[in-house]
Amino acid sequence: MSNLDVRPKPVQCGGRDDVPGGPVHELLPPRRVPLGESTVVRRLLPSLGRRMVGAWCFVDHYGPDDIADEPGMQVPPHPHIGLQTVSWLHDGEVLHRDSLGSLQTVRPKELGLMTAGRAIAHSEESPRDHPSILHGAQLWVALPDGHRHTDPAFEHHGDLPVVDGPGFSATVILGDLDGASSPGTAFTPIVGADLALADGADVRLPVEPDFEYAALTMSGVTEIDGMRVEPGSMLYLGCGRRELPLRADGDSGLVLLGGEPFEEKLVMWWNFVARTGEEIARAREDWTTGDRFGEVHGYDGPPLPAPAMPATPLKARGRTR
């Protein structure tokens, strides 16, 4: 997954100073961004006023799109440092290739988890023969300082734990929820869970009071802590809850993201998460000269060129505007 903006703006994020200590309702407006040849995503994080949710630092929601007569997702090889990517689908298929030699088709409710660490490159595409509907989310997790130079890795988990109850089920994507743990490697206290609610479901989901949370609505209208949230929206919830009330009028689906507020201050630019502008500039130069990131074999097309660095210095500070 990539930020394909040809003029990406630097984003300063991290730090605990601006994390609300109690529950809030903060609706994050999406920004429509083209991704590859024929996919348009709704970018929900980072947003104008909110940069992170725990270690989650990037959220795109796309679809449901009819791609029966379209190429679907076509994201050329591009680099990452300092983060993990999470591929999550409700419909369709995405073929992942990376510079480690990984080749994996990710399908609905399967976890594709790539740890960039010090450096990796990958591509993502809809297979040549693909389902007609594409619908999913693309997510990044910032790596803490002690792990951001770790060896790159890719994991695929097709069988994830499920927490269920009357009228709902929750697939644990990453981290822990209500005693269930994802097999995906996590480097900070975190949770990602896909919740399916049946019509009329009225649920009180147990959550961690020290975590901050946000909910991305994938389909249907869900009442989250008393607030109705339309599909394709994201509601930031703050900290301080022990349970999260959820209610569905009609079948609905959402992705719950949470974690301990991320203490370190970061700078994000293009597809890099780092601590200084100098690190970003060095990663861009390495990608441009063909150093460090390796090659992605098998993608039909050239790698993505790096955009020009911004004129202003990149500086890590703060997590909200």
Contact 271, 259 (CB under 8 A): no
pLDDT at 17 over 70: no
For the chain, how many helices (H) and strands (E)?
Answer: 1, 26
243 labelled binding-site residue: no
pLDDT tens-digit series, residues 242-281: 999 999 989 999 999 999 999 999 999 999 999 999 999 9
Nearest-angstrom CA–CA distance, 92 and 206: 31
pLDDT at 318: 43
135 is in an annotated binding site: no
d(CA 312, CA 118): 25
The pTM for the full model equals 0.93
Residue 57 structure tokens = 């630092």
- Can you name the CATH fold of 23-259? Jelly Rolls (2.60.120)
| Residue 247 token pair | 């209610």
Per the annotation, does 93 bind a ligand? no
297 is in an annotated binding site: no
Q: 10 Å Cβ neighbour count for 240?
A: 16
- Whether residue 317 is predicted with pLDDT greater than 60 in this model: the reply is no
